[in-house]
Homo-oligomer: A and B are copies of this chain.
Amino acid sequence: MSTVNKTAHSFDKTRFEALLNRRFFYAPAFEIYGGVAGLYDYGPPGSALQANIIAEWRKHFIVEEHMLELDTTIMTPAPVFETSGHVARFADWMVKDTKTGDVLRADHLVKNVLEARLASDKEARGLAAQPPKEDEKDKKKKKKNVKAAPLQLADEIVEKYERILAKLDDYTGPELGDLCRKHALKNPDTGNEVTEPVQFNLMFASSIGPTGQHPGFLRPETAQGHFLNFSRLLEYNNGRVPFASAQIGRSFRNEISPRAGLLRVREFTMAEIEHFVDPADKSHAHFNDVRHVVLSLLDRHTQSAGRTEVRKMSVGEAVDTGVVANQTLGYFLARIYMFLLKIGINPERLRFRQHMANEMAHYATDCWDAEIQNSYGWTECVGCADRAAYDLSVHSAKTGHPLVVRQALKEPIVVEKEVPEFNKKNLGKKFLKDAAVVQQIIGDMDETQLLAVKAQLSQGSATIASSESEQRTFELTPDLLTIERKTLKQSVREFVPNVIEPSFGLGRILYALLEHSFWCREQDVERGVLSLPPLVAPTKVLIVPLSAKEEFDPLVAEVSTKLRRAGVFSRVDDSNTSIGKRYSRNDELGTPFGVTLDFASVANRTMTLRERDTLTQLIGDIDEVIKVVIELVEGSITWADACQRLPAYDGVQAID
């Protein structure tokens, strides 16, 4: 078997991007109209890769975990996001160039300038500096400027910059503004100063209906659709928790200045799970199945100390020692890890990073991101947040619709509590239509407040106040209201479930996977390969007849049909070029296997089988090769197994 050296050439981003563009994995949307930043279209191989990742996601999560799938609308009336807090707080900090008016994200500005200074420092110190991460657009802009001479920084400045970068996600807007002033951070494209950071809401706005009467937003996440349907989902699940809903769909974020390809886009496909769980019991029935899974963890304490080293730890240990808060959160971190490895992410370039306090979304109480390393750095690809009872509580409070679980208790609980009782006749006489207001005020009181009223009543009368904007007071006497301590039996426990939310950015995962899969043949840097696993490869088997001549048609049809019946997606390439060129093209498309039909096939019903990474070829009877290739694609045998089953073929036509 040939040996494969996938790292003979270091990662070449230019070649990589050229390949993705040439093979139409994806391309800027509206390209012929000049394009719009942050919007991309997926071409045939990109669409197929995405569809395969989604299919595996559905199997790994929805089917295996018996989740309830949902498909809710993108267009959302404004009141929903007012309640959820998105209208007030789903925003990034932006600054403007004081002269050109160009808009920049404040945290990106800090990151880019400090990283550039550190890189310049390294150069000055004569260290082999990695060039600062930047994309094509940045490069072009910078080319116009004369390259500045490398500038060495004081050691304590270097240390300070590194500390700032390590906890960059934790700064508030005003703090980012302070950093800009203190460290003289300017727009790197122009050298101009920038304004104080201001908030920019990231939701796209629209309006619903012909008279514009309903303001609406495009959802920035699918989650609210789950929460609003909670009662129906609970009923569908026979009233029991825990259960999870899942949804795959498009979301929108009006990014301030998107520049990082598929990693920061304004429209994206996400897959979200909302796992509803008893807040008093966040254990997970299948936790022991994943207890042994070892993850690379970067917790919030390490980051707050300005450091970034990960700890390798089993999920079991992480939960036992409190690094990860509970079993359900730990279970999902492990399942996320297993999913990402299955589709081909390199485990050495995957870590789980805990959010720091200020960084956390407004709804979260704890959050871990699965970050995947790529040429832009470490990128959040999956968020796994404990949203606690936040969302269900706020929607319930706003709409008056109870979003709770009612659980029959095996043993009724006996509780003592203060119970108010009205003399409704007297109350009505005294307060007329305000009687309902009075009842409401008392009904909303907790134990302590009731005790205070009770104490006042025992003195003769109590005064209570409404919570309206124009507060009114009412005086109550014992002939209107009595409050007594009573012993009550509760046979039903009512609670608002907590929500653990794994949320996948599919485009980011897809991009990182493409980077992890890309390499160039040792002998020829021009020959790029995408080593996508058969599970997600757009095409599993390429069928290559020697030529488009009719004599091969029946065999091509036979092989193609047999593969299709087995559920294996193949493509025929009978284009007018050499077999080697056709295979090279399909190496770029990530097609793992190829079969060649030639004159020997017509005469003896033999067929050769080629493996993408090793370039080795086997030969055998057509039906035997089909059997082997089906098992290879299904993952039930490896290429080494296949080499045991079929003799090697040393023909040359496919390796030219």
Contacts and interface: CB of A to CB of B under 8 A. Distances in A.
Given A205-B206, A254-B210, A50 B71 contact: yes
Given A41-B71, A71-B269, A208-B254, 6 more contacts: A27-B229, A31-B228, A36-B209, A41-B229, A75-B204, A75-B267
Max chain B Cβ within 10 angstroms of own Cβ: one of A209, A216, A266: A209
Max chain B Cβ within 10 angstroms of own Cβ: one of A39, A40, A46: A39
A539 to B, nearest CB: 11
A51 interface: yes
B69 A48 contact: yes
Interface stretch (A6-14, A232-240, A298-306): A232-240
A267 B352 CA distance: 36
A285 to B, nearest CB: 13
Contacts of A50: 71
Contact of A40 (B23, B73, B76, B101): B73
Copies in the complex: 2
A42 B70 contact: yes
A252 B63 CA distance: 30
Contacts of A204: 75, 206-208
Contacts of A31: 228-229
Contacts of A77: 30, 33, 36
B41 A73 contact: yes
A250 interface: yes
Interface in A198-222: 200, 204-211, 214, 216, 218
A399 B33 contact: yes
Contacts of A68: 43-44
A385 to B, nearest CB: 22
Q: Which 6 A-B pairs have the closest CB atoms?
A: A42-B71, A41-B72, A47-B69, A32-B401, A44-B68, A32-B399
Contact of A218 (B24, B103, B206): B206
Contact of A32 (B101, B103, B228): B228
Nearest to A398: B33
Contacts of A69: 44, 47-48, 51
A491 B401 CA distance: 72
Contact of A232 (B24, B36, B235): B24
A403 to B, nearest CB: 8
A258 to B, nearest CB: 9
A66 interface: yes
A395 B32 contact: yes
Nearest to A258: B209
Contacts of A571: 66
A80 B228 contact: no
A481 to B, nearest CB: 33
B206 A200 contact: no
Given A32-B399, A36-B214, A575 B238 contact: yes
A74 interface: yes
Contact of A206 (B32, B36, B206): B206
Interface string A135-154: 00000000000000000000
Interface of A: 23-24, 27, 29-33, 36-37, 39-44, 46-48, 50-51, 58, 63, 66, 68-77, 79-80, 94, 101, 103, 200, 204-211, 214, 216, 218, 225, 228-229, 231-233, 235-236, 238, 249-250, 252, 254, 256-257, 266-267, 269, 395, 399, 401, 564, 567, 569, 571, 575
Given A30-B228, A204-B75, A228-B31, A233 B36 contact: no
17 contacts: A23-B236, A24-B233, A29-B72, A31-B229, A33-B399, A39-B208, A41-B70, A41-B73, A41-B228, A44-B70, A47-B71, A48-B69, A51-B69, A63-B564, A75-B252, A94-B210, A238-B575
A266 B75 CA distance: 9
A458 to B, nearest CB: 41
A210 B200 contact: yes
Contacts of A33: 77, 79-80, 228, 399
A228 B200 CA distance: 31
B46 A71 contact: yes
B76 A30 contact: yes
A229 B28 CA distance: 10
Nearest to A209: B254
Contacts of A46: 71
A224 to B, nearest CB: 9
B63 A47 contact: no
A437 B453 CA distance: 90
Contacts of A66: 571
Contacts of A94: 210
Nearest to A402: B32
A257 B210 contact: yes
A229 B77 CA distance: 33
Given A103-B210, A210-B257, A267 B73 contact: yes
Contact of A236 (B24, B214, B269): B24
Nearest to A26: B71
A211 B97 CA distance: 13
Given A79-B33, A214-B36, A44 B254 contact: no
A229 B63 contact: no
Contacts of A72: 29, 41-42
A266 B208 contact: yes
Nearest to A204: B206
Contacts of A205: 206-207
